[in-house]
Structure 1
Amino acid sequence: MTAHLARRQSVVRGEAPWWLLPAMEDNLWEPVGAELVGLGRTSASVKIARDFTVETLTNWGLDELACDARLVVSELVTNAVRHAGEPTRLRLLHRASHVVCAVFDPKQQTPVVTDAGYFAESGRGLWLVESLSCSWGWRLDGQGKLVWAAFTAPFALDQSRTSA
């Protein structure tokens, strides 16, 4: 297995939606956002994050993104558990034509994209994230790192807001 650091810090593939980083850093959640805090360090936290993602996207009327987003969140949370100790939180944001899944962890270590061998049992997670999302990347700050993946989403209304 050959490991190499991704070439650009902050954005690996594509450009981040212009509103992503201020929204993540300053809790600017409008129009729609959801957060799962305290995921922990067990394999159960990966399942909890997947289920939270599917439920949230379904509530937002974005069922068609749920399968891909579920898999990407699973990879991001697994990487945080495996390489950073534990993820501190998962955020999902929906604005206009983007849905963003972001995982925070306490390590200042950048993600490493690997070239897994044919028979390797791991090492393909970030390639999977890249394949399923329209863009992904990370950002380091003094508290740790944010790893995110964005999806292009059709316009959908939050079903829970429209029923009131």
Structure 2
Amino acid sequence: MGTGPDETPRAGRSPVPGCVGRGCLSVLVALLVLVVGGWIWLATQPGRDEAAARENLGASVERHRRQLVAAAADGTVTDAEITAAFPPAKPARGLVGITRQDGTTRVVAGLLGIGPSRTFIFVNATYATGCYAFDVTVPAGEAPRATPRELPAATCAAG
């Protein structure tokens, strides 16, 4: 009942001695795959956080557009309504300028998008800022419109 060269191994035992035969190699490979997968996931996390912050910035632009349309529902949009809609939000500047020309009110503002907060040792969040111009028009007999467009960041920085 041995395991000599001419005998078949007992049921449930591998003919190969050592780590390979006992399944240790499978466990080591599985651990290596988990470590490499975790490393890749952590290395790509900042990109996912940046994408979430950009998505939040887009939602902020849409929210401000709707606020301007609501403010212009009475036929005009006042400076006080605009100022209330665009408070500064560090690191974004908030309201940069208001100009009126030919029935169009142009509002230039720096807006902020915030990504998910991460807590490991320190709490940090990812921010995305953008400079936007909102052209608000109130055509006679129609609903007011606010059209946003992105401007170069220097426009809001120079203010």
TM-score normalised over the length of structure 2: 0.30
